[in-house]
Amino acid sequence: MRFGARGRHRAASTRYGDGQGSYRGKQGSRVLGKVVLVTGAARQLGGRFVRRVQCEPGVDRVIAVDAVEPAHELGGAEFVRADIRQSALARILAEHAVDTVVHLDVSGKALGAGGRTAIKETNVIGTMQLLGACQKSPAVRRLVVKSSTSVYGSASRDPAVFTETTPPKSLPSGGFAKDAVEVEGYVRGFARRRPDVAVCVLRFANILGPRPDSPLADYLSLPVLPTVFGYDPRLQFVHEDDVVDVLGIAAGEPRRGTLNSGTFNIAGDGVLLLSQCSRRLGKPTVPVLLPAVTWVGSALRTIGMTDFSPEQIRLLTHGRVVSTVQMRETLGFRPKFSTAETFAEFARSRGPGLLPPETVGRAVDRLAALPLPGGAGPRERGAGAVQTTHGAR
Amino acid sequence: MADAKVIPFDDDRSRSGGASRPARRRTGAGGPGGGRGDGSAAPVSALPGAQVPEPSAVSPEAGEGGREPRRDAVDAGGAPGGWERRIAGGLAFLRRRVTGDYDVDEFGYDRELTDQVLMSVLRPLADTYFRVEVKGIENIPSDGGALIVANHSGTLPLDGLMLQVAVHDNHPADRHLRLLAADLVFQLPVVNELARKAGHTLACAEDAQRLLEMGEIVGVMPEGFKGIGKPFGERYKLQRFGRGGFVSTALRAGAPIVPCSIVGAEEIYPMIGNAKTLARLLGFPYFPITPTFPWLGPLGALPLPTKWTIQFGEPIPTDGYPPEAAEDPMLMFNLTDQVREQIQHTLYKLLVQRRSVFF
């Protein structure tokens, strides 16, 4: 509703129909077809979305764009190798008469080799180039941008639950979170300049899928989890299947009674604490004092295990929970996986850790099977054990 | 608050006196929506006699300090089976904990841990050490949101924790208090973790409103650091109530405000001085100096065993106001003053009835 009215979409679509007669004739009798351009198609998520969106009714063609050849199958989509940091995009948009742009090339982790600078360039400069190209192209009617809940930052003075309108108490100072903030800023500017384009910004919580594609997934794949001593962050996850589904909803026409333009938090229901995550994964934790965490982080980064950026450390200190009321009520999307289910899927794909929960559970059961003389003795032991777990957390 | 309601029942300080009190109020709080006004002249009914003695009846049965009285009340098994069931329960609990198979809400509130561990740790402090006497628990509605507004004192926020135990252990509908805590709490390691798990959250309008709309009982101490860090000479003098934000939050959520007066917490650490430079250096709002604290080292951190009274006053309904009332500063100030006066008044009354600080 903030990003342009529906009447204007119709006007744009008329224009689109007029200009592309030749293309229509070649394609067939369908009058109202869609041409979807997906950036970041070489990533796991991009590839899945490209394959998925082809099956949507009303989608004629899918143009997949990325700077590198994807390792996975893209189905019937047309792959165009282009670096979105260059201005080749305007030509691609015009050539294929793209009307829906799904911008997924906003990511916290490089694909293959490439440092932080390259990611930042792709995220920020790439978005600027893409938006510039979209602004020039009259055919574009819909823009979907993948963002992240990290735009809210993570601080001790933040409210427990972020809504889409919560202003961040402390803006992310660097890293992917800052990229996401800047990308959203440019997208807002674009929405102002092109009110006829329906713009949807999806702020995803931590995405977990079968293949780790985010710094947090990398972190959770470590054999032993370094944690910040004295903090137990609340985390939310969203399953990759749900991400693909909600991108489909955002890229299509809004269903009756829903609205798919605007900004939405996307997360699975419920919350997991990091301590719960580690126990469910069966991985021991090593609490590290907050000042020393940065050293551990840079040490881990040096040996290339994970990107332990300051922003990541803040997430692991204070945690972050977002409200998904808008997602449910305005966007009309219900995730299939809750946070806990997403995590269970992830844990299953990872394989057991050093202390699998089943083994630990069996150990407790053995404790239960010990001959109990009754009376106060075992009771004390039980109570003591409870206290210990509590103390050890 | 009508004088005649408080004084007669506090004359006899016994448990039974406390138990008979609810009889009067019960009917007033019987319509839990907050529609009181008909209950002021209600006669004593037979109903409260059945439910009010419950908390006091549990402790003699449970014997040693009444650990986990609620579980006892639930399974209420015979004496021989009780222990085994407890052990089994404890092991099941342990198993759930070590495998991570438990739930927390979006605020990080771990209900199971709070009920089984945190409350059990705090309970001896409340029952044996401070001997907290709880009055007017029936003023907290049995369902729906409510905002408990209490005075704050005692250098360390033990009064908040005792208030939480008081609501948890005494309320017949098994309600849990969700406290709003200062941002300092969430900056300190360990403390923030335990606070979140115990159901506390940051004192901000968003969190308070979210909790009230979820139908939770929210506890707030609007004096903040001004109240908890005031010198001993100013004890039981309420400080300014912030900006009255709690009133507009309660109005927006339509939740009744329950004023609460806590007597006894002021004397646990008599603060005779404040090392301001040291406080600024450490980033704390104040650094207390008590007759014992820095001098005796950790021993000085032991609170004095004062006798506490927690009195919940009659709820002030907020659902009768138009929706724009939350934006009306005049109404805010009036309601804030009303709550403040009621707490101050009750404090003085309780102080007059108190025989001694320690008994």
Subunit contact A159:B202, Cβ cutoff 8 A: yes
Share of residues in chain B with pLDDT > 90 (%): 56
Residue B282 has pLDDT above 80, yes or no: yes
Contacts of B242 (CB under 8 A, 6+ apart): B222, B223, B224
Q: Judge: A273–B104 Cβ closer than 8 Å, yes or no.
A: yes
> What residues have CB less than 8 Å from B289, skipping those under 6 apart?
B271, B272, B273, B274, B275
The boundaries of the domain holding residue A41 are 6-209+236-270+321-340
Structure tokens at B190: 């360990």
Cα A43–chain centre separation: 12
Q: Which residue of A has its CA nearest to B185?
A: A156
Strands B177-181 and B201-202: parallel
Residues 6+ apart with CB under 8 A from A303: none
Q: How confident is the model at residue A140 (pLDDT cuts 50, 70, 90)?
A: very high
Task: For residue A250, give Cα distances in angstroms to A203, A208, A263.
Answer: 12, 20, 11
A162 found inside a domain: yes
Confidence of residue A187 (pLDDT cuts 50, 70, 90): very high
pLDDT for the residue A373? 53
What's the CATH code of the domain at B138? 3.40.1130.10
Tell me the pLDDT band of A381, cut-offs 50, 70 and 90. Answer: very low
Does position B106 have pLDDT exceeding 90, yes or no? yes
Give dist(CA A269, CA A295) in Å, integer: 34
Q: Do B98 and A389 touch (CB under 8 A)?
A: yes
Mean pLDDT of chain B: 80
Same domain, B182 and B208: yes
Average pLDDT over residues B308-329: 91
Where does the pLDDT of residue A255 fall: very low under 50, low under 70, confident under 90, or very high at 90 and above? confident
CA of residue B112 relative to chain centroid, distance:
19
3-state secondary structure B147-198: EEEECCCCCCCHHHHHHHHHHHHHCCCCCCEEEEECHHHHHCCCHHHHHHHC
pLDDT confidence band for B205 (50 / 70 / 90):
very high
Nearest CA in chain A to B118: A390
Q: In this structure, are residues A77 and A36 in contact, taking their beta carbons and an 8 Å threshold? A: no
B228 shares a domain with B134: yes
Residue B274: inside a domain, yes or no?
A: no
Inter-chain CB proximity A361 and B94 less than 8 Å: no
| pLDDT of residue A310 exceeding 50 | yes
Residue B161 has pLDDT above 60, yes or no: yes
- Give domain status of residue B59, yes or no: yes
* Domain tally, chain B: 2
A374 belongs to a structural domain:
no
Residue B52, CA distances (Å) to A116, B15, B138, B166, B170 in order = 64, 10, 9, 14, 9
% of chain A at pLDDT higher than 90: 46
Q: Which residues pair with B177 in a beta bridge?
A: B217
pLDDT of residue B49: 37
CB atoms within 10 A of CB B243: 13
In the DSSP assignment, the letter for residue A255 is P
Q: Are B211 and B181 in contact (CB under 8 A)?
A: no
pLDDT exceeds cutoff 70 at A329: yes
Identify which has the larger pLDDT, A10 or B157.
B157
Residues B232 and B261 in one domain: yes
pLDDT at A110: 73
Please list every residue in chain B whose beta carbon sits closer than 8 Å to the beta carbon of residue A166.
Answer: 206
Please report whether residue A306 resides in a domain: no
Q: What pLDDT shows up at residue B80?
A: 59
Here the CATH number for the domain that contains residue A175 is: 3.40.50.720
The 3-state DSSP class for residue A269 equals coil
Q: CA-CA distance, B49 to B262, in Å (whole number)?
A: 25
Tell me whether A354 touches chain B (CB under 8 Å): no
Residues B157 and B86 grouped into a single domain: no
Q: Work out the mean pLDDT of chain A and round it to a whole number.
A: 82
Query: What is the predicted pLDDT for the residue at B166?
Result: 95
pTM, two decimals, is 0.79
Pick the closest to residue A106 from A93, A87, A119 (CA basis).
A119
Query: Is residue B309 situated within a structural domain?
Result: yes
Residues B313 and B344 in one domain: yes
- Chain A residues with beta carbon closer than 8 angstroms to that of B100: 275-280, 357
CB-based contact A137:A98 (threshold 8 Å): yes
| Domain assignment of residue A102, yes or no | yes
Going by C-alpha positions, the residue among B176, B335, B314 that lies closest to residue B252 is: B335
CA distances from B291 to B156, B272, B284, B304, B358 (A): 15, 7, 20, 11, 17
Query: Residue B46: its pLDDT value, please?
Result: 40
Query: What pLDDT is stored for residue B12 in this prediction?
Result: 41
- In a shared domain, residues B64 and B113: no
- Give, as one character, the DSSP assignment of residue A67: S
A291 within domain boundaries? no
pLDDT for A22 beyond 60:
no
Q: What ipTM was reported for this prediction?
A: 0.80
Q: Do B192 and A231 touch (CB under 8 A)?
A: yes
Overall number of domains in chain A? 1
Q: How far is B229 from chain A (nearest CA, A)?
A: 21
Instruction: Using the predicted structure, report yes or no on whether residue B304 has a pLDDT greater than 60.
Output: yes
Domain-located, residue A220: no
> Do B113 and B221 have their domain in common?
yes
- Are both B89 and B223 inside the same structural domain? no
Q: Are B168 and B177 in contact (CB under 8 A)?
A: yes
DSSP A35: E
The predicted-structure confidence for A30-45, as pLDDT tens digits, reads as follows 335 689 999 999 988 9
In a domain, A94, yes or no: yes
Q: Would you place residue B316 in the very low, low, confident or very high pLDDT band (cuts 50, 70, 90)?
A: very high
HSE at residue B19, side-chain half, CA atoms within 13 A, is 15
Are A364 and B95 an interchain contact pair (Cβ–Cβ within 8 Å)? yes
| 3 state SS of A141 | coil
pLDDT tier, A46 (very low <50, low <70, confident <90, very high otherwise): very high
Say what the pLDDT of residue B87 is: 85
Q: Pick the closest to residue A78 from A43, A41, A45 (CA basis).
A: A41
- Of A162-176, A276-290, B278-292, least confident by mean pLDDT is A162-176
Q: Which strand ranges, in their side-by-side order, compose the sheet holding A142-148?
A: A78-81, A59-66, A34-39, A100-103, A142-148, A198-204, A262-266
Q: Note the Cα A163 to chain centre separation in Å.
A: 17
State how far residue A225 is from chain B, nearest Cα, in angstroms. Answer: 15
* Residues linked to residue A80 through DSSP beta bridges, in sequence order: A65
Poorest-pLDDT segment among B11-25, B130-144, B327-341 = B11-25
The alpha-helical segments, DSSP class H, found in chain B are 3-11, 15-30, 47-51, 54-62, 69-75, 79-98, 111-113, 119-124, 158-170, 183-187, 191-197, 205-213, 225-228, 245-253, 276-282, 293-296, 329-353
Q: What is the pLDDT of residue A107?
A: 85
Taking every pair of Cα atoms in chain A, the longest distance, rounded to a whole number of angstroms, is 89
Beta-ladder partners of B257: B147, B316
Average pLDDT over residues B133-145: 94
Q: Mean pLDDT across the stretch B66-77?
A: 42
Helix (H, G, I), strand (E, B) or coil at A200: strand
AA identity, residue A304? G
Residue type, A179: D
More confident residue, B265 or B30: B265
Question: What is the pLDDT at residue A113?
Answer: 62
Range A299-318 average pLDDT: 77
Q: For residue range B182-191, list pLDDT tens digits in order.
A: 999 999 999 9
Q: How many CB pairs under 8 A join A and B?
A: 132
Is B46 inside any structural domain? no
Last residue of a domain, one of B73, B101, B129: B101
Which chain A residues contact residue B188 at CB under 8 A?
Answer: 230
Out of B66-70, B155-159, B227-231, which region has the weakest mean confidence (pLDDT)?
Answer: B66-70
In angstroms, the separation between the Cα of residue A207 and the nearest Cα of chain B is 18
Of the pLDDT bands very low, low, confident and very high (cuts 50, 70, 90), residue B83 is confident
Chain A neighbors of B117, CB-CB under 8 A: 386-387, 390
For residue B288, being part of any structural domain is answered with: no
- Given CA atoms B320, B322, B327, B330 in this order, what sign does their dihedral have? negative
More confident residue, A24 or B269: B269
Interhelix angle A310-318/A290-302, rounded to 10 degrees, is 130
Query: According to the model, what pLDDT value does residue A260 have?
Result: 87
> Are B96 and B118 part of one and the same domain?
no
Residues B209 and B66 in one domain: no
More confident residue, A26 or B247: B247
Query: Is there a domain that residue B256 lies in?
Result: yes
Q: Would you say residue B79 has pLDDT above 60?
A: no
> For B26-50, what is each residue's pLDDT tens digit?
333 333 333 333 433 344 344 333 3
Mean pLDDT to the nearest integer, A2-21: 38
Domain boundary among B47, B72, B101: B101
Chain A contacts of B203, Cβ < 8 Å? none
pLDDT in tens, A73-83: 888 899 999 88
Give the model's pLDDT for residue A229: 92
In sequence order, the 6+-apart residues with CB closer than 8 A to the CB of B351 are B236, B263
Domain region containing B155: 104-268+303-353
| pLDDT tens per residue across span A97-125 | 999 999 999 888 777 666 778 888 889 99
Q: Which of B340, B193, B147 is nearest to A316 (CA)?
A: B193
Considering the domain architecture, whether residues B330 and B188 belong to the same structural domain is answered as yes
